[in-house]
Amino acid sequence: MKNVSTTALKHFISDFEGDVVLPEDPQYDEVRQIWNAMIDRRPSLIARCVSPEDVIKSLSFMRQHDLPFSIRGGGHNIAGNAVCDEGLMIDLSLMRQVDIDQAHQRASVGPGCTLGDFDAAAQQHGLATPLGINSTTGVAGLTLGGGFGWLSRKYGMTIDNLLAMDVVTADGRQLHASEEENPDLFWGLRGGGGNFGIVTRFEYQLHPVGPNVLCGLIVFPFDQAKSVITQFARFTETMPDELNVWMVTRQAPPLPFLPEEVHGKEVVALALCYSGDPAEGERSIEPLRGFGTAHGEHIAVQPYIAWQQAFDGLLTAGARNYWKSHNFSSLGEGAIDAIVEYADSLPSSQCEIFIGTIGGQAGRAQPDAMAYASRDANYVLNVHARWETADEDAHCIAWARDFFARSKPYASDGAYVNFLTGDEAERIEFAYGPSYGRLVELKNKFDPTNVFRINQNINPAPMPAA
């Protein structure tokens, strides 16, 4: 390994509490792999931390030997920033402890936890906090970029429910960040990504949810797409906070409630979750059934934890993925026409266009309350290109980029940083909008030499000449 003697490496390994994985080790290829198969990088060593002390030792080793390094939580981020080439990968995925304080409705969560880990622990007590919609997603990356999901209209963004964090900074200090301690760092970590340190513990506010909720799918024929999406756009403007409805257009998977002749055909699906009383939820969702003549529906009262896993089968690791994303404050005819046009030419059977609905409580926070400022983003559109072989790369990526350009005139300001790919550095300042200047100031304070740079990077400002 460049810049590292055998003696130094042996000393690091002997002093490390977790596991150190080298390229010659049998588990190396498995450990370095992440969700997006487009990313195929080979770190020189992987430090699988089990404690904050391991994180500190890893950063110290990196500084001593001037190594490039990356930080892996759940390894699910589209940009692939969890893995670097020829450097040190600090792997937090073994730090998966979840402790629930039922009396105070709080959760203490390790940085390697997935949504599935968190949900399972919290739901044992009938509690939850807003997270994403895929149980294999890492809690850390989701949170640091903002985080939203089925519960966000009722309880806000993930970061709105974040109470505190323990952080290892670029100089190796362990800091506690909350409204009371290091409040500026706390502000920046709530949306600023991995730019200011490595979080070794998250503390969240929990809420009574479930354990059963009304949830499910209504699937419409694609020839009704414009009408269905238009009605979806109007309905979601006034629906109650307890209800969330998302839209996805794609080829229908072989769902058992759909006729076999529909499998593999383009469809428009409305996915919904009602977090209040199911009887009230049934009344709230009844208008959705009148949006068209559905192929079929499956809506039932079922465990919240099962609904959080419902889409895992469509988002398994190992496929090639490329995303483009816009925020929308509202969905007008131009945006809807663009969606219908490009959904009619999906380049692979796994590609989809989805709209995640936010609004509600998530839109009531002040834009300057934390680094995530896009509180007018009532909808986040994700163009999800997904395919299996490298031969399909050019066609699928071009489709996603073309649709992104076609729909851009109708988008609002800002962007959701967790959906930015690795080739969108020019969009980072736009994504943060009014928060960007303050984020640069924080970067100068906590990471002036840009140690944490394999991320959606906020560059520190050049220091003025003496």
- What is the pLDDT at residue 463? 58
Closest CA to 398 of 365, 351, 434: 351
Say whether both 320 and 360 belong to one domain.
yes
Helices (H), 145-293: 152-155, 183-189, 225-235, 278-285
- What is the pLDDT at residue 2? 73
- What is the pLDDT at residue 461? 82
Asked if residue 439 is part of any domain, the answer here is no
- What is the pLDDT at residue 3? 77
User: Which strands, in side-by-side order, build the sheet including 174-178?
Assistant: 98-101, 106-109, 198-205, 162-168, 174-178
Asked if residue 449 is part of any domain, the answer here is no
Count of domains observed in the chain: 3
Say whether both 125 and 155 belong to one domain.
yes
- What is the pLDDT at residue 464? 56
Asked if residue 338 is part of any domain, the answer here is yes
Say whether both 258 and 193 belong to one domain.
no
Q: Phi and psi at residue 32, in whole multiples of 5°?
A: -80, -15
- Tokens (6 digits) for 199: 């979080």
- What is the pLDDT at residue 19? 97
Give the number of other Cβ atoms within 10 Å of residue 51's Cβ.
15
- What is the pLDDT at residue 216? 98
Asked if residue 359 is part of any domain, the answer here is yes
- The total number of residues shown for the chain amounts to 466
Helices (H), 274-363: 278-285, 304-307, 333-343
Is 319 in a helix, a strand, or coil? Answer: coil
Q: In whole angstroms, what is the distance from residue 260 CA to residue 117 CA?
A: 34
Asked if residue 450 is part of any domain, the answer here is no
Q: Which domain holds residue 118?
A: 98-208
Say whether both 334 and 256 belong to one domain.
yes
Summarised one tens digit per residue, pLDDT across range 381-421 is 999 999 999 999 999 999 999 999 999 999 999 999 999 99
The secondary structure of the chain in percent helix, strand, coil, rounded to multiples of 5, reads 35, 25, 45
Say whether both 15 and 87 belong to one domain.
yes
Q: What is the pLDDT along the chain (466 residues), one digit of tens a residue?
A: 777 889 999 999 999 999 999 999 999 999 999 999 999 999 999 999 999 999 999 999 999 999 999 999 999 999 999 999 999 999 999 999 999 999 999 999 999 999 999 999 999 999 999 999 999 999 999 999 999 999 999 999 999 999 999 999 999 999 999 999 999 999 999 999 999 999 999 999 999 999 999 999 999 999 999 999 999 999 999 999 999 999 999 999 999 999 999 999 999 999 999 999 999 999 999 999 999 999 999 999 999 999 999 999 999 999 999 999 999 999 999 999 999 999 999 999 999 999 999 999 999 999 999 999 999 999 999 999 999 999 999 999 999 999 999 999 999 999 999 999 999 999 999 999 999 999 999 999 999 999 999 999 999 986 555 4
Asked if residue 456 is part of any domain, the answer here is no
- Taking the alpha carbons at both ends of the chain, their separation in whole angstroms is 38
- What is the pLDDT at residue 217? 98
Q: Which of 91, 109, 144 is the C-terminal boundary of a domain?
A: 91
Say whether both 128 and 60 belong to one domain.
no
Q: In whole angstroms, what is the distance from residue 365 CA to residue 164 CA?
A: 18
**Concatenated DSSP letters for 363-410?**
GSS-TTSSS---TT--EEEEEEEEES-GGGHHHHHHHHHHHHHHHGGG
